[in-house]
Structure 1
Amino acid sequence: MVPRGFRRFSSRRSSGRRQGNAYEDDGISLNSQFGKKTLNRMNAHLAAFEDKQRGGPREPSAREVKRWEKIMAKKSERTLTPEYLAQPIFRPNSAALLHFGDKSMVDYEDKVPVGVFPGAIHVVSTAEEELQHRAALESMRVVGIDCETKPSLFRNYASSPIALVQLASHDTALLYRVRWIDPNLTFPGLQHVLANKDTIKVGHGCAFDFKSLRECRVASHVVNTVDTLPVATKIGCLKPNLRALGMIWQHLQISKAMQTSNWEAPLLTNDQVEYAATDAWLARQVMLGLMQFAPSRPYLTAVHYTDSRQGDDNLMGSSNDEIVAQLLEVAQLEQHRL
């Protein structure tokens, strides 16, 4: 029973509805004190997030490293099981099967030597350091390119920016720490190579990397890029990862243990440096091997990441036939060097 002079809460609420009270009168509009405080808190959180994105690299905790190593160890174990190794690596009736025969990874694992980049490796962190290698950059005709980012376990960012850009010719590798000193630092030599139509850029599964180079403002234009992955897939390779392609086309294998290491560490280890150079170089060598296999050539497609509205002929890139001819010329020249 409700005492005289009082009404139930629901009755008061209903009365408010009947009187047509607007929400603006409840003190929760953006112009109210409560609304202003809420907006200020949201702005503070957004500012903190943006500061975190712009902030420098951090070291992963021991717990993070241990967890990540455990995950990668399990992944590596799966690729070494007898069932996995016995799977065919060429599609039935494909050009690759007709050329190599019925093969599996058993025919390559533990039978192919480990390969590493055979030339000089230079880590570049500033434009002044890059200037020392400008002559080598300008002489490069075919370069392997790869990009490394902080692994997802170590991220401070919604999307990790590029931490390392690797360029490798037959005898020189340059590893650019593009955001270590200053995220806004530019490297004129690197930009020249990426935009130069006389230099072919080879990657493996590289579309995301080349787009990221522009999004991260490492370079405005990237022309004459070619990708080993679609070429290998179309001629019949069922396991077209770079490690497998290296064993098939160059008769050497590489370790991927460093792939998920922290590329924003204060100091890169010797293993990281060697892996980064070898990874970029191997993509280059695989493409040269693919182009010497005639059925591969029709599947090569050059992609140019640039703003076509600028109308600069130097940014339009070469045709597929021109790139195939240049790759064959370089492959034959390097064979004579051996």
Structure 2
Amino acid sequence: MQSLTPNYNPQPSLDKDDINALPLITQEIPVELLTSANQARQALRHIANEPLLGFDTETRPAFRKGQSYLPSLIQLATRDCAYIFQISRYPIPAELLEILASPHHCKSGAGLSYDIRQLQQMRRFKPDNFTELGDIATQLGLRQTGLRSLCALIFGQRLSKGAQCSDWSRHHLTQVQIQYAATDAWVSRELYVAMEAMLRRINQHSS
């Protein structure tokens, strides 16, 4: 599928109104929704061959003080497909933990430390080769490092947050939820590719 086109000279920040005025990212991401451990293991055989993966999780929102939930979804995205592991329905497969702990698979995303801590409450694993997009953004001189802001700065498009506070623990996700979850992971990979290319350009010009 077609990649997003980056702006190699982004502004360091945009205000909220400017971001809201941008067009929405409208790519229909091909998705595999993995509702059982067997489906997950089959998908992981394909994912195991991918060196770069976009990563994200989704968690049921808590609206009461002191209330909290663990992640319901893990999303991994390749260039052409997003895989949604519905871990509210089955234990995290050992094969998925192997990828999260693998030095041979780069996992890129935003707000990674929190996501990883939450997953470690569900299954023990030692994370390896995770790349925080906010760290790359800081190296590029960008002052905003959240996923939505980075999409606006780098791609000039707006990431929808309409499903962010929906119930991710439900067994039957809506199509809006599925595309939202898929897009977050896919965009995380797209941003990594774009920003790493920007860093290389800067380093070439300075050498």
- Give the Cα separation in 1 of the matches to 2:57 and 2:161: 14
- The aligned residue for residue 15 of structure 1 is none
2:55 corresponds to 1:129: no
Over 3 Å counting, the alpha-carbon distance change for 1:297 and 1:148 in structure 2 is farther
Counterpart selection for 1:270 from 175, 178, 184: 175
Over 3 Å counting, the alpha-carbon distance change for 1:161 and 1:175 in structure 2 is same
Higher helix share: 1
How far the C-alpha of 1:245 sits from its partner, in A, is 0.7
Aligned Cα root-mean-square deviation (Å): 2.8
- Give the Cα separation in 2 of the matches to 1:147 and 1:297: 31
- The aligned residue for residue 213 of structure 1 is 119
- Give the Cα separation in 1 of the matches to 2:177 and 2:159: 13
Aligned residue type for 1:242: L
TM-score of the two chains, using structure 1 as the length reference: 0.52
2:147 corresponds to 1:242: yes
Counterpart selection for 2:83 from 174, 196, 213: 174
Q: Which moved more, 1:248-257 or 1:195-204?
A: 248-257
- The aligned residue for residue 60 of structure 1 is none
1:246-266: CA deviations, max 9, x gaps?
122123321111111110123
- Give the Cα separation in 2 of the matches to 1:108 and 1:162: 28
Query: Does the 8 Å CA contact 1:249/1:286 hold for their aligned counterparts?
Result: yes
* Larger relative contact order (CA 8 Å, sep ≥ 6): 2
Q: 1:122-161 to 2 correspondence within 5 Å?
A: 122-153=32-63, 158-161=67-70
Aligned residue for 1:207, secondary structure, equals helix
How far the C-alpha of 1:297 sits from its partner, in A, is 8.3
Query: Does the 8 Å CA contact 1:200/1:226 hold for their aligned counterparts?
Result: yes
Over 3 Å counting, the alpha-carbon distance change for 1:103 and 1:238 in structure 2 is closer
TM-score of the two chains, using structure 2 as the length reference: 0.81
Query: Does the 8 Å CA contact 1:123/1:174 hold for their aligned counterparts?
Result: yes
2:106 corresponds to 1:200: yes
- Give the Cα separation in 1 of the matches to 2:129 and 2:201: 18
- The aligned residue for residue 71 of structure 1 is none
Q: Which moved more, 1:235-244 or 1:222-231?
A: 235-244
Aligned residue type for 1:136: H
Q: 1:248-259 to 2 correspondence within 5 Å?
A: 248-259=153-164
Aligned residue for 1:223, secondary structure, equals coil
1:141-165: CA deviations, max 9, x gaps?
111111111101279x843111111
How far the C-alpha of 1:113 sits from its partner, in A, is 3.4
Aligned residue type for 1:273: I
- Give the Cα separation in 1 of the matches to 2:98 and 2:27: 23
Query: Does the 8 Å CA contact 2:75/2:83 hold for their aligned counterparts?
Result: yes
Aligned residue for 2:96, secondary structure, equals helix
Q: How many residues align?
A: 195
Aligned residue for 1:115, secondary structure, equals coil
Query: Does the 8 Å CA contact 1:290/1:296 hold for their aligned counterparts?
Result: no
Q: Which runs of 5+ in 2 are unaligned?
A: 1-7
- Give the Cα separation in 2 of the matches to 1:140 and 1:191: 15
1:199-246: CA deviations, max 9, x gaps?
1011101111112222211x5132100101133234332332211211
Q: 1:277-292 to 2 correspondence within 5 Å?
A: 277-292=182-197
- Give the Cα separation in 2 of the matches to 1:269 and 1:148: 14
- Give the Cα separation in 2 of the matches to 1:243 and 1:147: 15
- Give the Cα separation in 2 of the matches to 1:100 and 1:133: 36
1:256-279: CA deviations, max 9, x gaps?
111111101231100000000101
Over 3 Å counting, the alpha-carbon distance change for 1:245 and 1:102 in structure 2 is closer
Q: Which has the larger radius of gyration?
A: 1
Q: 1:70-81 to 2 correspondence within 5 Å?
A: none
1:95-137: CA deviations, max 9, x gaps?
xxx9445874466543x43224544211112221123323321
Q: Which moved more, 1:158-167 or 1:201-210?
A: 158-167
Query: Does the 8 Å CA contact 1:116/1:274 hold for their aligned counterparts?
Result: no
